[in-house]
Structures are given as C-alpha cells and as structure tokens.
Amino acid sequence: MFRSPYPDVEVPNLSVFDYLFAQLSDDDLERTALIDGPSGARWSYRDLRDQAVAVAGALAARGLRPGDVVGLLCPNTPAFAVVFHGALRAGLTVTTINSLYTPDEIAAQLADSSARLLITVSPLAQGASAAAEKVGLEPGDVVVLDGPGEAADGHPSLRDWLTAGQPAPDVRFDPATHLAVLPYSSGTTGLAKGVMLTHRNLVANVAQSAPTLEMVHDDVVLAVLPFFHIYGMTVLLNLALSQRAALVTMPRFDLEQFLALVEQHRCTYLFIAPPIAVALAKHPLVEGHDLASVHTIFSGAAPLDAALGHAVEARIGCRMKQGYGMTELSPVSHAIPPSVDLPLDSVGYTLPNTECKLLDPATGEEIAVPDDGESAPGELLVRGPQVMAGYLNNPLATSDTLEPDGFLHTGDIATVTSEGVVRIVERLKELIKYHGYQVAPAELEALLLSSPDVADVAVIGVRDEDGEEVPKAYVVVQPGHELDEQGVRDYVAARVAPHKKVRKVEFVEAIPKSSSGKILRKDLRAREAGRL
C-alpha cells in the first residue's frame, strides 16, 4: 500500500453549496466568478450565489424535492454554473448530459437516471425536446435557459426563474450520503455508466485537489473542458470557485477562440486534455498570440506524452503538468503539483487522504513498493473520500469495481516509484497481446506523435490474417508532409522492441475523440468489425 506524501486535509461535513458559497467575504462577493467567453459578460460571486438561490427557489416551487433528479444538457456558460449550483442548493441530484449526445442518447440517460426535468439551451432545445418526449416528460418539463420563457413558448427560461422571486427552500440532508450528481462515465470502454457521487465526494475532491493543484485567488482559469464531465465539474467549476478565482467559459473547443480568450483575459492556468496539447505543440495558429500570462497548463483525462508536453512548455513558455482521475473518483486521485519537478510521463503523487495499491492482474497479489526505483506494473486500486457510492442501477458493476474494504478498481495499469510517483501504463482493457507480449497503445501513440510528419494518431489491436492480435496505427499526416505506410512502420521499428512494432497502418483524416479528449478506440474497433 502507498499513500500521499502530503498530510491529510480536513473534509468539512458540508453540502457543496455551503462549502462554496456560505462563507463569501464582502471582498469575495465583488470578485469576478465567471466570464462568458463569447460575449464577455461577467458574473460576480454575489451574482452567482444570488442567482443560484433564486433557481433553487424556482425548482422547489415546481414541486421538486431533495433527491429528485434533473438533467442538465448545456455547454459551458455561466448559466450552467448558476443552474448547477441552484439545483444542488435545492437538494436535487443533477445528471449532467454530454452536449454532443443524440436525442436517443439523451433519452437513455434521462430514463436511466429517472430525471423529472431537463434543463438546456436554445441551440440544443430541439434534440432535448425530442428526448424528453420519448421518456414521457411534458413540454413544460424542458427548461430552455436562454429561451423566450414559459408565457411565450411553454418552456420556462432562466429569466422566468430569476424574476419569480421564490424563496429558497429549507432543505436538510446528510452530505455524506446525499447524491449531488450522477455524471456518466465517458463510455470509452463500453456503455457509459451512471456514477453516484455524494456531496461529500465532491467537497472532498476539491479539498484534496486544492493543495496539489496550487490554484490561487488570482488565477484566471479558462474553462474549455466541459462542465458536464467530472474533470470540468470538479477541477474547473468547483475548485476555481472554492479559490475565488475567475473562470472564463468556452462552449466548445476552437483553437483560434481558445488562443484569443487566453490573450484577451490574460488567463493564467489552463486545464486541457491531450488533443489540445497536440494543437498547442503543432498548430501554426499558436505563433500569432501572446500567451505570456499562462503560468501552468495541466493535462488530464487521457495519457499525455512527455515529449509532447515538453514541446508545449517550450513553445508557450510555461509549466506543463499532468494528473489522473476517473468519474468514479470525483475524479482526481493523482497529480503533479505545479511547483514540483516530476517526470511528465508520470501522473505525480497520490492526493491527500488517499491510499493506493497495485495488484498483479494475473495473480491478484499485491505488488510491493520498492525501496529504490520503480515497481512492477499492476492494476491501480484507490481508496479515499472521493470514491463513488456506486454505479446507478448496476449492483453487479458496482460489486465488480468496489471492494468491501473501500478500494476501487480503476481498470488502469500503473507503476509507483519508491518516492511515491505514479505512472499510468495503459488501461487493462486496451493492452494489446502480441504473441503473449503486452503492447501499450499509448506508448506507440506517443512515439508516433514525436514524428514531425504525424499530426495525430491512434493505435488499437486488430486481428491479422492468422487471427493473431497485432498493433494497428491510424495516422493523420501533418499537412504539407509526406508519409507512407512503410515510413510509419520504419519509424516505430527503429525505436521499439520487435514485439511492439506497428504491423498495420491506415491513413485517416481525423482520429475519433470524445469531447472530454479521449480517443474513441471503440469507434475504430467498430470500423474494423464493419470490414469483416
């Protein structure tokens, strides 16, 4: 077993709303909490708190009671923050929905989570209404935040709620057990699962991340990663608000707008996923912008290649760091603190209040932490106050993932050094078995990304003519460069052990990725299956 090198932090027994907003000083109230990137409109901490309280009142006036579930289908805007924290203030459980979902996917999540209300914005209202109808919700149960309002089109709007002047409800619940949110996992390995996270889970993860991520009062944080995904929800929305920092919201990633907003608002701390690192390291647009205000860029959600990260550091002139987490961990369990120099191919130290162990996937035996150097790889298990209550409506998946003693199986293979530095090797499920040898797709992807001819890449295991699993690379060629199949094979073969060679290559226009920045290997696999 190993744990954080940091002392434990106190996790107050508070609701998320009270933790973030009960103790705002006069000074804090006037500070900027949120800036809407596209319009430049600003919300102070007072605006945010008061509007959230008004939303809580409006939700209670509709008859919604603690424990009821509401769906939130909304890209990153200040209104997301207002409604999210208003619903939590009313004791409701928020199921955040991916804004790229189709009506069928939205309906599936609404049905699975038994949502009683769906809150959205006008660009997504059509799909939202179709989904709501499918699950038997009335038009009045679809709230269109920026819409014309209930009197005009039957859908309540945020303005209706803010002007209704309903008193905030008097709600009481136990933060340790009351469900705050039901985010769904990214669905990278299969169907997305509803993850039950309590108020305590969310409060704990903010308290645990704060000392490690070193975000401060004066930081201006660009919120481009979606708030609906647990990374954006905890590390952007809740952590930044807990520090009384400012968040600049971006509804979707667009490199030009991303760079322009950093420049315009003098953003200091950027949280990204690896696809944005690829753009920051390689895209010509970056040259035309003054990004000197940025002190740290932090990557999570998928493996960051160290060479790529260092290229970003050099080009932007800032520190690049990495962390690790998953929806089931609220999400953070590991991070490299900005002020500490640790290898960028690691995910740094275990967070405070968190214990880990590594299990040999073949034998289930615990792997020893060495006195010196790096351990053997094993499945990472994590225990701490950020571990989920379980999967919704899925006791089997829950008991497969959570041990009776509180340890959660991450499904990721990792190593740890004698100093407590953790490195994620690969997902257990993604490892390619070539003639009995294990090949990690992430390692080959990192290697290929180091080629100037490669703009992007993904590797999966496919069956060759003899039914043997072999690594196959999907490659996007850097514009203006030339690269053929032999070139790809040779580049890899010159740099790895023979069993790790890429044995199949396909050139593509783009790599399928989720909006939280993960390579959708299942889409590539489906494509392969479609060919058979």
What residues make contact with ligand ATP under the rule CB under 6 A?
185-190, 192-193, 300-303, 322, 324-327, 347, 410-412, 424, 427, 516, 518
CA distance 356 to 387: 12
- Residue 144 contact partner, candidates Mg ion, ligand ATP, none, CB within 5 to 8 A by sort of partner: none
Reference 497, options 471, 523, 474; nearest CA is: 471
Smallest distance from the beta carbon of 27 to ligand ATP, in angstroms?
Answer: 35
Amino acid identity, residue 7?
P
Q: Which residues pair with 25 in a beta bridge?
A: none
Q: Which residues pair with 454 in a beta bridge?
A: 477
Rounded least distance, CB 69 to ligand ATP, Å: 19
Which CB sits closer to ligand ATP, 196 or 347? 347
Task: Enumerate residues 150-189 that contact Mg ion by CB under 5 A.
Answer: 185
Residue 124 to residue 333: CA distance in whole angstroms: 33
Question: Which of Mg ion, ligand ATP, none does 80 bind, CB closer than 5 to 8 A by kind?
Answer: none
* Count of Cβ atoms closer than 10 Å to residue 256 Cβ: 11
Closest CA to 86 of 113, 107, 64, 114: 64
Q: Which is closer to Mg ion, CB of 185 or CB of 415?
A: 185
Which tokens in the block code for residue 228? 């609906």
Q: Which does 407 bind (CB under 5 to 8 A by kind): Mg ion, ligand ATP, none?
A: none
For the CB of residue 235, give the shortest distance to ligand ATP in the complex, in Å: 12
Identify which of residues 44 and 398 has a Cβ nearer to Mg ion in the complex.
398
Min CB(529)–ligand ATP separation in Å: 18
In the complex, minimum distance from the CB of residue 380 to ligand ATP, in angstroms, rounded to a whole number: 9
What is the nearest approach in angstroms of ligand ATP to the Cβ of residue 408?
10
Which of ligand ATP, Mg ion, none has residue 385 at its interface (CB below 5 to 8 Å by kind)? none
Q: State the binding partner of 424 from ligand ATP, Mg ion, none, CB within 5 to 8 A by kind.
A: ligand ATP
DSSP state of 321: E
What one-character DSSP code corresponds to residue 232? Answer: I
Residue 275's closest CA among 98, 508, 447, 511? Answer: 511
Tokens representing 351 are 């967070």
Closer CB to ligand ATP, 73 or 326, in the complex: 326
CB nearer to ligand ATP: pick between 190 and 452: 190
Q: Which is nearer to Mg ion, 19 or 324 (CB)?
A: 324
In whole angstroms, what is the distance from residue 467 CA to residue 488 CA?
Answer: 23
User: Least CB distance from residue 58 to Mg ion, whole Å?
Assistant: 35
What's the CA gap between 116 and 129, in Å, rounded?
13
From ligand ATP, Mg ion, none, which one binds at residue 322 (CB under 5 to 8 Å depending on kind)? ligand ATP
- Report the DSSP beta bridge partners of residue 221: 247, 269
Q: Is 53 helix (H, G, I), strand (E, B) or coil?
A: helix
Binds 89, which of ligand ATP, Mg ion, none (CB < 5 to 8 A, cut-off by type)?
none
Q: Which is nearer to ligand ATP, 122 or 450 (CB)?
A: 450
Tell me, what amino acid is at 251?
A: P
78 vs 348 by CB, closer to ligand ATP: 348
Distances (CA, A) of 28 to 32, 47, 162, 168, 213: 8, 11, 22, 22, 21
Closer CB to ligand ATP, 36 or 379, in the complex: 379
Q: What is the CA radius of gyration of the chain?
A: 23
The least CB distance from residue 423 to ligand ATP, in Å, is 9
Question: Residue 113: which of Mg ion, ligand ATP, none does it interact with, CB under 5 to 8 A by kind?
Answer: none
Comparing CB distances to ligand ATP, the nearer of 141 and 214 is: 214
Q: What minimum distance in Å lies between the beta carbon of 506 and ligand ATP?
A: 23
Residue 300 contact partner, candidates ligand ATP, Mg ion, none, CB within 5 to 8 A by sort of partner: ligand ATP
Amino acid at 39: S
CB of 490 to ligand ATP, least distance (A): 27
Task: Specify whether the backbone of 115 is left (phi greater than 0), alpha (psi in -120 to 50) or beta.
Answer: beta
Q: Which of 482, 480, 500, 481 shows the shortest CA–CA distance to 492?
A: 500
Which of ligand ATP, Mg ion, none does residue 412 bind (CB under 5 to 8 Å by kind)?
Answer: ligand ATP
Give buried/exposed letters for 382-418 (b at 16+ CB in 10 A, else e): bbbbbbbbbbbebeebbeebbeeeebbbbbbbbbbbe
**Interface residue list for Mg ion (CB under 5 A):** 185
